[in-house]
Structure formats: C-alpha cells, structure tokens
C-alpha cells in the first residue's frame, strides 16, 4: 500500500514571503516570530480569485531546486490552509467587525494540494504573458535599430524637403 506524502511543498519567490516577523506574546510578554505569505496576482482556486490573500506557515525554507530567490513552504497535506484578507470599504479603509471590534477578515479554507495547483497555474500564466510581452519588446527594439541605422546613413525618414 502506497503511503501519501506527509507534506505538500509550495515554492514561491521570496518577495511574496515575509519571514521571522517579531511580535510580543500578549500573555507572557516574550518575543516570538511568525511567517507571512501573500498569494500572487492571478491565483484562482475553484473559480474564486484569491490574489493577495495571506496565510502564516510554520516554516519557510530556502528552495532546494529553484535558487536563492525562491523559498519552499512545507504544509501538512491533510490540514486545511486558511487564507485571509482584510475586508475594505469603498474608500479602502478596513471594515470593523461589530462583534469583535477588530478588522473584518474574509477567510477561504483550502487544502494544500489545491493551493499548489493554483500557484503553479498562476506562475505558468505569468511566464507565458511575460514571454509574449518580451517578444513584442524585442520586435520594437528591432524597429528602433532599423530607424537608427537609417538615420546614421543619412536617410532621415522624417526629413522635410528643402524649399
């Protein structure tokens, strides 16, 4: 019988992760740390856009395979990840929950496998969009080079005829 993996690993660019954020424990007063991950733009899970939602993983490790700019985040495979985002009003101010007196949060509960699939798909789409943008940039650069060489040869394309 095949055993299921205990952890699901998510790999993200380090710009989406804040590690070792310090805070004072309100009960004991001692300093503790936590990690925060913000999901990138374009992350969609089951048709719901969860871009910019956040969660707090226990561990953030340097990536084994992607290089120094990426981190691996181990998540327990059988435990839900709670993605949260502050609810904002029309002016961009946090909405206060009347029951708790704190900022209201929109919470989405997902399994790590769903999150991994959504992040992989968002990265694939981002890279495809980036590649198409670079191709158009290279063609624009080629046209600029052609114009510059025409100018250097004395063939100014916008030169007015002498009167």
Q: What is the pLDDT of residue 160?
A: 58
- The pTM (predicted TM-score) of the whole model is 0.73
Q: What is the pLDDT of residue 130?
A: 85
145 against 134, higher pLDDT: 145
What whole-number percentage of the chain has pLDDT above 90? 61
CB atoms within 10 A of CB 81: 21
When mean pLDDT is compared across 6-10, 18-22, 120-124, 156-160, the lowest value belongs to: 156-160
Provide the token pair at 70: 């990426």
Dist CA 116 CA 45 (whole Å): 10
27 against 137, higher pLDDT: 27
Q: What is the pLDDT of residue 3?
A: 65
Mean pLDDT of 41-55: 94
Q: What is the pLDDT of residue 62?
A: 93
Q: What is the pLDDT of residue 123?
A: 92
Q: What is the pLDDT of residue 1?
A: 43
Q: What is the pLDDT of residue 158?
A: 60
143 against 96, higher pLDDT: 96
Task: Specify the pairing of strand 54-55 against strand 31-38.
Answer: antiparallel
How far are the Cα atoms of 7, 42, 47, 104, 122 from residue 129, in angstroms, in the given order? 31, 12, 20, 34, 11
Q: What is the pLDDT of residue 161?
A: 57
99 against 148, higher pLDDT: 99
| Averaged pLDDT score across all residues of the chain | 88
What are the residue boundaries of the structural domains of the chain, listed by start? 7-150
Q: In what order do the strands lie in the sheet with 17-24?
A: 17-24, 31-38, 54-55, 81-86, 105-110
Q: What is the pLDDT of residue 147?
A: 79
């Amino acid at each position: 019988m095949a055993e299921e993996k205990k952890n699901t690993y998510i790999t993200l660019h380090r710009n989406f992760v804040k590690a070792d954020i310090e805070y004072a424990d309100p009960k004991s007063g001692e300093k503790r740390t936590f990690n925060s991950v913000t999901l990138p733009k374009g992350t969609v899970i089951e048709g719901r856009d969860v871009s910019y939602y956040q969660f707090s993983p226990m561990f953030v490790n340097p990536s084994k395979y992607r290089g120094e700019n990426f981190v691996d985040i181990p998540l327990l495979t059988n435990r839900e990840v709670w993605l949260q985002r502050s609810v904002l009003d029309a002016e961009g101010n946090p909405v206060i929950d009347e029951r708790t007196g704190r900022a209201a949060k929109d919470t989405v509960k997902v399994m790590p496998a769903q999150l991994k699939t959504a992040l992989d798909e968002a990265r694939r789409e981002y890279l495809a969009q980036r590649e198409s943008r670079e191709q158009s940039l290279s063609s624009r650069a080629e046209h600029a080079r052609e114009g510059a060489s025409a100018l250097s040869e004395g063939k100014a394309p916008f030169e007015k005829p002498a009167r």
